[in-house]
Structure 1
Amino acid sequence: MTQKKLHPSVLKFKEFVKNNPKLIQEVRKGNSNWQELYEDWYLLGEDDPRWEKVGEETEEDHSDQSEKKSDLMSNIMGMVKKMDPNQMQGHITNLSQALGAIQGLLSQFQGNNTGAGPAKPSEGPKHPFSFRQD
């Protein structure tokens, strides 16, 4: 197989990433992406102090994450409190009726409906393409 020849700067960046495995962790966590890291590396160079700080979590990061979690929980609890049980029951009933209608429609197309219904079209062979072995 032939590989694409990469630009020399990309090869240097790959080598830089091999020497700094924290960059891989940053991308996997979703804190950054390869394009941003490459652009920063290209503009700032390998000796920039930014690369020393990559991958280090500060106490502020932990407190921000816990605040986000508590905000999410308070939002969910607020939505649950605002729900009207009668309105929710109405939505569930409508959904149930819609699912019943879809099931009825599917059973008509599948030919599984029993009882009085529209006349069934004549059934042909179960396998319309017969393959024979020689």
Structure 2
Amino acid sequence: MAKKKLHPSVEKFKEFVKAHPELVQEVRKGNTTWQEMYEDWYLLGEDDPKWTNKSNNDKDEKSEEKKTDWIGTIMGAVKNMDPEQVQGQIHNISQALGAIQGVLSQFQGSKGGQQASNSSGPAHPFSFRQD
């Protein structure tokens, strides 16, 4: 049976993996998959620093970097917020929610008389009825 000829890029990737045996260990440990590895190699190229800085803590470093970056982004956004603009947005959201609640209460009211009388709600939110 003849061996199936692989795509030239796959052949190059196989050569790259042979030159970087630590990548095989990363896949075997479950830190990544061959598909992810191939896509990174294809998009980033062989000269990307990712391939020279491979270590056991690579995933942890990436997730920590993402967390730090996310927090920095949020903090930057908070610093640049205009309190009056935020208050206006909160007011608009509150009005939209009120409108949605009004529409929902109209739909619930059309289901029956019993539910319509309960849609306004009891005077006390935790009213108990005796059996």
Smaller-chain TM-score range?
A: 0.3 to 0.5
When normalised by structure 1's length, the TM-score is 0.42
Q: With CA pairs under 8 Å and 6+ residues apart, which has the higher RCO, 1 or 2?
A: 1
When normalised by structure 2's length, the TM-score is 0.43
Greater share of residues in helix: 2
